[in-house]
Amino acid sequence: MPGTIGGTGGEGAGGDAVPAAGGGGPTAVPGGLRRTLTFRDLIVYGLLFIAPMAPVGIFGTLQAKSHGAITLVYLVATVAMAFTAYSYAQMVRVAPQAGSVYTYARVGLGEGAGFVAGWMAMLDYLLIPAVAYLFSGIALHALVPSVHAWVWTALAVAVTTLLNLWGVRAAARVGFAVLAMEIVVLAVFVVSAVVELIAHGAPRGWAAPLTGEGGFAVGAVLAAVSVAVLSYLGFDAIASFAEEAAGPVATGEGGRGPGGPDRVARAVLTCLVVAGVLFAVQTYLAALLMPVSAAELAARPAEQGGAFYATVDAAVGGWLRDLVAVSKAVGAAFAALAGQAAAGRLLFAMARDRRLPGAMSKVDAGSGVPRRALLGAALVTLVAAVWAARRDDGLDQLSSVVNVGALTAFGLLHASVIGCFWIRRAGGAPSVLRHLVVPLLGLAVVAAVIVEAAGAAQAVGGAWLVVGLGVLAVQYRGRGRAGGLRG
C-alpha cells in the first residue's frame, strides 16, 4: 500500500510481523502477533465494547436534557463521531500497528505526542473496562444478593481475562455468542415495542423523538449530543487489532484481495454505522412508549437512570425488563473483555517501543497474545473495579473520570491526520477534505465534549496528563544521555 509505514514499527521485542500471504493464518515471526482476525471478528470486538444497548443507562438523562428529541440526538452524535471514525480509517492504512492512536500520533506528530496519546488512551482503556465490570457486578448482586458485588466483579474480571489469554480468535468466538444474545434481546424489545404501538398507539406524536416535545430546542439537543457521543466509546478499539487482522499488510498484495489494514478501516466505519442504527431504533421506540413526558422526567432526576427499564416494564411487562437487565449485566462483562484486549495491545505496543517496561512486549508463543500486557491491564482494572465495588458511590466516582482520556486521544488522532499528510507528508498525497476538513471538524467535536465534561473528569484527566508529561520528561532525559530520541 502506498504510504504504509512499517509492518509493526516496533523497536523492541516482538519484531516486525510478517504479512499473511492471502490473509491466511497465524503468520508472524516468533514473538509477533498473529494475523487471524476476520472482518466479522473485528466487528464483534467493536460492538462488544460499545454494547448494542448502550443507551439504556443514559436514556432518561438524554430524554430529559434534549426535551424529548433523543433519537435526533443519537443521529447527530453518530455523524459527529463519524469524523473520528474516518480519521481512524485514514491512519490505520498508513500505520497498521497494534498501538492505535499511540502509533498514529507517533507517526503524524512525533515521539512525544505519540507517548501522550498512548498515555491518555491508557486511562480510557483501563478504566472503561473497570466501569463495565462494576456494572456487571452490581447487576449480578441484584439478582443474587447473598454474593457481594465486589465478588461478582472480581469473578467477571477473572473469567474474561482467562478468555483473553486463551487467544484472540477464541475470545472473539465467545464474544460473538454474547453479542448475538444481546442482539436477540434487543430484537425482542423492538418486536414487543412495535406490537404494543400497533395495538395501542403512541402516547405522544410519532415525530416527537426527532423534533422534541413542546418545540424544538437546538441548544438542548447539542447539550445532549455532548453526552451521547460517550455511548460510542469503544469502536476505536478495533484499530488496536491492526496487527492481528487477517490479510496482507498492503491492499491487494500479491493480487489476493483486501489487506488487513483495509479490513480494520472498514470495520471501524461499519461498527459506528451499525451502532448508530441500533441506538436510533431503540431510543425511538422507547421514547414513543415512555409513560411520562420529557419535562416530567427532567423534574424527577432520581428517576432518569431507570427510565428505560420503567418504560419497558409499563409498556410490555416485567419479564422483558428483567431480560434486558440480565442482558446488560452479561454484556457489560464482555464489553470489558474487548476493552481489556485493546488495553493489552496498547500496553504491548508502548512496551515494544520502550515507552513502558519491556516485559510487556512479549507475545506468548502458544496463544499468540501479549500475555504479560494483558495481565498488567487486568490487574489495574481489577484493583479499580473492586475498589469501586466496595464503595457506595464507587460507580459514580469511576464513571466520572473515564471519558477525558479517550477524548484527548481522539483530539491527538485528528491532529495526527493533519500532521501525517500535510506536514510530514508520510501518508501520500493529501486531500483538503479527507485530511484537513474532516479532522478539523472532529477536533471541534472533541473540544466541545471535553468542555461539557464534568469537573471531576477534567481534573482527573488533567492530573493524568501532568503525570504522563513527567514520565515523558524523564524518558527524554534518559534517552538524551544515551544518544537522543528520534523524531
Nearby residues of 288 by Cβ (< 8 Å), 6 or more positions away: 193, 197, 202, 203, 204, 206, 208, 209
Nearest to 229 by CA among 29, 93, 406, 110: 406
Query: 245: helix, coil or strand?
Result: strand
Per-residue pLDDT of the chain (487 residues; tens, 9 = 90+): 445 555 444 443 333 333 333 333 444 445 578 888 899 999 999 999 888 998 988 898 899 989 999 999 999 999 999 999 999 999 999 988 888 899 999 999 999 999 999 998 888 888 889 988 988 888 888 778 899 989 999 999 999 999 999 988 888 899 999 999 999 999 999 999 999 999 998 888 899 999 988 778 888 888 888 888 878 888 888 988 888 888 765 544 433 445 678 999 999 999 999 999 999 999 999 999 999 988 888 898 888 878 898 899 999 998 998 899 889 888 889 989 988 998 999 999 999 988 889 899 999 888 889 999 999 999 999 999 999 888 876 766 676 677 778 888 899 999 999 999 999 888 778 999 999 999 999 999 888 888 877 677 788 888 889 999 999 999 888 766 655 444 4
Q: Which long-range contacts (CB under 8 A, 24 or more apart) does 311-319 make?
A: 311/59, 311/286, 312/189, 312/286, 314/289, 315/193, 315/196, 315/289, 315/291, 316/189, 316/192, 316/193, 316/196
- The rounded distance, in Å, linking the Cα atoms of 350 and 343 is 11
- The predicted model scores a pTM of 0.83
